[in-house]
Amino acid sequence: MSTMRSITVPTDASRLPMTLPRMAEKKRLGEPLVMVTAYDYPSALAVDKAGVDLVLVGDSGAMTVLGYPSTVAVELDELLVLAKAVRRGLTMPFLIGDLPFGSYEVSDEQAVTTAFRFVKEAGCDAVKLEGGGPVSVARARAIVQAGIPVMGHVGLTPQTSTALGGYRAQGRTAEAARRVADEAMALQEAGCFSIVFEAIPSAVAEAVMPRMDALVIGIGAGPATDGQVLVFHDLLGIREGRGARFVQRYADILDEMVAGVTAYAGDVRSRRYPSPDHGYSIPDEELAAFRHALGEQ
């Protein structure tokens, strides 16, 4: 007789902290997992209130909040500052820290040391690394063996986009699709609890899914994956331009921000702001005493 018990998910399951067993149960039940990036305290509060399952402090923050032209330049210490702020704003979702380019490739020791910093200093539940070649697979295995859950990332991997020929979809020939599938399976075999499939044909993702026990989170990989991830600034329109083909925009916050600050600037320049209602009062006798102290008669 099997000793395995299925997890009973209470009615108010959405308000329980997300855990690896709960995510595995969602996969088993075919319930899509919702993942989004966040980079600071207010974005963390927003995604927490919205009830998402997983939050990634992505190295995409290099571009969305730090203004770098790509994800390559961002330093580990910079991402740790963002991750700590996100941690302070989250209660329920599972938090993943993205290992920045150059912080894990050199050796297993470097990868494990970096991963420990995300867990110990920023309170992350897991880390993510990019690529499914031999180096990334070895680093993923080392971090998992050190006791930290790892999310892999195959397909379009922005940290190495120069080597991939730019920001373009991957796996669009039989050979390239086979490479993506092999990388995903190697990461799974190394112990990754989850793998991101980025910018690969939907049919390729669908064909690989039956071989994936790990949770597959898609971004531009079609509907067959176990969940979806989008960048916070892309889905809310806190950036210029439409972004990649797979981005669905749910708000136009940048326009709202510009409109709000423009209105404020107009009110200051025309002296409509501040109004008397925005000021503080002082009793007449206190004001008189103060004026007297200033030497006024």
Q: Are 198 and 156 in contact (CB under 8 A)?
A: yes
Subset of residues 140 to 159 that bind ligand KIV, contact rule: CB under 6 A = 153
**Residue ranges with strand state E in the chain:** 33-37, 54-57, 94-98, 126-128, 150-155, 194-198, 215-219, 227-230
Q: If DSSP codes are grouped into helix, strand and coil, which group holds residue 29?
A: helix
Q: Bin 239: left if φ > 0, else alpha if -120 < ψ < 50, else beta.
A: beta
Structure tokens at 253: 């916050």
- What x-and-dash track marks residues 190-219 binding ligand KIV by CB under 6 A? ------x----------------------x
Q: Does 95 bind ligand KIV (CB under 6 A)?
A: no
Pairing of strands 54-57, 194-198: unpaired
Taking contact as CB under 6 A, which single stretch among the options 5-13, 53-61, 89-97, 264-272 is the one that binds ligand KIV?
53-61
Of residues 58, 97, 131, 237, which one binds ligand KIV by CB under 6 A? 58
Whether 198 is catalytic is yes
Q: Does 231 bind ligand KIV (CB under 6 A)?
A: yes
Structure tokens at 257: 């921000």
Catalytic residue among 198, 240, 285, 286: 198
Subset of residues 256 to 295 that bind ligand KIV, contact rule: CB under 6 A = none
Least separation, in Å, of the C-beta of 61 and ligand KIV?
7
Taking contact as CB under 6 A, which single stretch among the options 52-60, 162-170, 275-283, 286-294 is the one that binds ligand KIV?
52-60
Least separation, in Å, of the C-beta of 8 and ligand KIV?
31
Q: Does 237 bind ligand KIV (CB under 6 A)?
A: no
| Integer Cα distance of 128 and 152 in angstroms | 6
Least separation, in Å, of the C-beta of 54 and ligand KIV?
10
- What x-and-dash track marks residues 20-49 binding ligand KIV by CB under 6 A? -----------------x------------
Query: What number of other Cβ atoms are within 10 A of residue 167's Cβ?
Result: 11
* Displacement of CA 135 from its chain's centroid (Å): 23
- Spell out the residues 6+ positions from residue 176 whose beta carbon is closer than 8 angstroms to its own: 170
Give whichever of 126 and 231 is closer to ligand KIV, judged by the CB atom: 231
Phi/psi for 187 (5° steps) reads -65, -40
CA distances from 116 to 15, 35, 148 (A): 27, 22, 8
Q: If DSSP codes are grouped into helix, strand and coil, which group holds residue 233?
A: helix
Binding footprint of ligand KIV, residue count (CB under 6 A): 11
Residues taking part in catalysis:
198
List contacts with ligand KIV (CB under 6 A): 37, 56, 58-60, 98, 153, 196, 219, 229, 231
